[in-house]
Amino acid sequence: MNISLIEPIGVPQSMIEELATPIRQAGHSFTYYDDKTTDTEELKRRSAGQDIVMIANNRYPSEVIEASKDLKLLAVAFTGIDHVDLDACKKNNVLVCNCAGYSNICVAEQTIGMAISLMRFFNTCDATVRRGGTSVGLAGTEISGKKVGIIGCGQIGTMTAKLFLAFGAEVIAYARNRRPEVETLGVKYVSLDELLETSDIISLHTPNNAATKGMIGKNQIAKMKKTALFINCARGPIVDNKALADALNEGRIAGAAIDVFDMEPPIPSDYPLLHAKNTLLTPHVAFLTKEAMVRRAKIEFQNVISFLNGKPENICKF
């Protein structure tokens, strides 16, 4: 079969070559492109004649899928697959696999870090020191004893719950599908309304799809406590970010830490969250650690090898 990795996946080319060796030894062709492109015609060219195309988080539109007549598997080096036209994949009988699990640790750690930064005013503390100020007015709060609400308890949400529990928080969760192992941790499942109304910290960990897009809107934000902190390391379109910015500016919630937006950075200068009070913004980096990139690459190539061996893994249902 012909296999192409059509964009970088965050590891050195030497590692790509090492991981591709079993594929070539089995008699398959492997091509690697070390630059990213968003040009549809170039994506078509890189995908032409390929049985398997490997991508990361670059948009893979329907026009490319329709033009890739030999395509059998789209291997996505990411957890979310909302940047892929899944309708076109279904229409053209293209399987899609992902790398679920590679970013569990780093996203959970960033969530904890963001919570601590908001609660201890790290941005303000840094600015205060630089201008010769003191600790006056900078008494923070602790995670221990707080109620943390996790929206979405897949692998990342569950890891995040474990870390908050280790800090001494009470953790509750809302999810469409309840997992017994989550309850075994001591996490209590509740309704979304109860979670929004009672949590001191709310952390979002759901995929972006038709069922979740816009699920945290104006009405849901209005249910949050005035002292609540909101963290989103999942996907931007799950939240009405204009409504979130309004709530922050009007003091209806205490703060927010956001890693994902309605678009990939760079963010337009008029984007509401850029001008909202009490916010911590990061440019979609929760998944991005050196360790996670290595895990992701290994899972990505193993997915391809498993497919070639007739035993596909991590196949996404849609």
> Catalytic positions, please?
235, 264, 284
Q: Is the bond preceding residue 272 a cis peptide, omega within 30 degrees?
A: no
Q: How far is CA 79 from the centre of its chain?
A: 7
Are 288 and 259 spatial neighbours (Cβ–Cβ below 8 Å)?
no
Which residue's entry shows tokens 């469409």?
A: 176
Give dist(CA 142, CA 69) in Å, integer: 56
C-alpha torsion angle, residues 109, 110, 114, 117 (rounded to 10): 70
Give dist(CA 265, CA 57) in Å, integer: 13
Give dist(CA 240, CA 238) in Å, integer: 7
